[in-house]
Amino acid sequence: MLSMSDRIRAARTTAGLSQTQLALETGVKRSAVAQWERKEGTTPSVSHLAQIAVVTRVRFEWLATGRGCAKPDGDALHGTVQPNADYVQNDLEGNILSLVRRLPPRKRKVAHDIILMLGG
């Protein structure tokens, strides 16, 4: 199951928002959003979590607990949540995937090539 920080990041990126945009929508500083998206970061208050759910159009229960469908229409977040739920087999793989997703496209390609070179 995705951590809350991963669910917040997934909801934000699927909604097409930057950390700055989500911060503006929820009335916090960008650094607060960055903290919410860190594995060891802070957890948003219930009111901020509710605002994130509204702004990103995901279900509050999914955002808060990871249970149920992410989207109100029953769809998973395309390209983010469903593949993670299907393919990540342990915490190490999940952490690697999370790190790769944060890379800009050019560095993702380099990471891909390194993994292939290591025997992937």
Give the H/E segment covering residue 63.
helix 60-65
Give the H/E segment covering residue 106.
helix 105-117
For the cut 70, the answer to whether the pLDDT of residue 88 exceeds it is: no
The per-residue pLDDT for range 24-81, each reduced to its tens digit, is: 999 999 999 999 999 999 999 999 999 999 999 999 999 999 988 888 765 544 434 4
pTM: 0.62
Question: Sorting pLDDT into bands at 50, 70 and 90, what band is 101?
Answer: confident
The per-residue pLDDT for range 7-21, each reduced to its tens digit, is: 999 999 988 899 999
- Domains recognised in the chain with CATH numbers: 4-87 (1.10.260.40)
For the cut 50, the answer to whether the pLDDT of residue 87 exceeds it is: yes
